[in-house]
């Protein structure tokens, strides 16, 4: 079964991250890399089919709506929320227990959260 794992960050943490200098942000990324490397190594050992991407900040997003035949485009962010999606994994896994195991190993789960959503397959 396929699962979408949405990696969310606390909005305050995102704002704090965005206030860092490029050098400070790079140092923090480098400090996190071993945990991500461990995750990807585990995924490889399990032989799971997992793909994912990091997303730009909500401020880079666009909202597209069509109303009465007119396309409306709005710059983000769109709503005041406590959490913001920062990335995702799409994983083909044997069952929900394995999706939970994967989510628990994602470094973001230690400071924010990972939402698991089964993908509708017809």
Give 82's DSSP letter. S
pLDDT at 11 over 90: no
pLDDT at 81 over 80: no
> How many domains does the chain divide into?
1
Among candidate residues 32, 36, 39, the one with its CA nearest the CA of residue 17: 32
Instruction: Give the separation between CA 104 and CA 114, rounded to whole angstroms.
Output: 8
Q: What is the DSSP string of 22-66?
A: HHHHHHHHHHHHHHHHHHHHHHHHHT-EEEEEE---GGG-EEEEE
The enclosing domain of 8 has a CATH number of 3.30.70.1060
Inter-axis angle of helices 22-46 and 96-105, nearest 10 = 150
pLDDT in tens, 22-77: 999 899 989 999 999 999 999 999 999 999 999 988 778 888 889 999 999 988 76
pLDDT of residue 121: 87
For residue 66, give its domain range. 2-118
């Amino acid at each position: 079964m396929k699962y979408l794992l949405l990696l969310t960050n606390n909005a305050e943490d995102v704002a704090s991250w965005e206030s860092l200098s490029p050098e400070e942000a790079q140092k923090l990324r480098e400090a996190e890399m071993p945990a991500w490397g461990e995750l990807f190594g585990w995924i490889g050992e399990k032989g799971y089919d997992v793909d994912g991407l990091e997303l730009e900040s909500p401020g880079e997003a666009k909202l597209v709506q069509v109303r009465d035949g007119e396309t409306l485009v709005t710059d983000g962010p769109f709503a005041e929320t406590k959490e913001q999606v920062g990335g995702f994994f799409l994983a083909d896994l044997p069952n929900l227990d394995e999706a939970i195991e994967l989510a628990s190993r994602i470094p973001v789960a230690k400071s924010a959260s990972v939402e698991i959503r089964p993908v509708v397959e017809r």
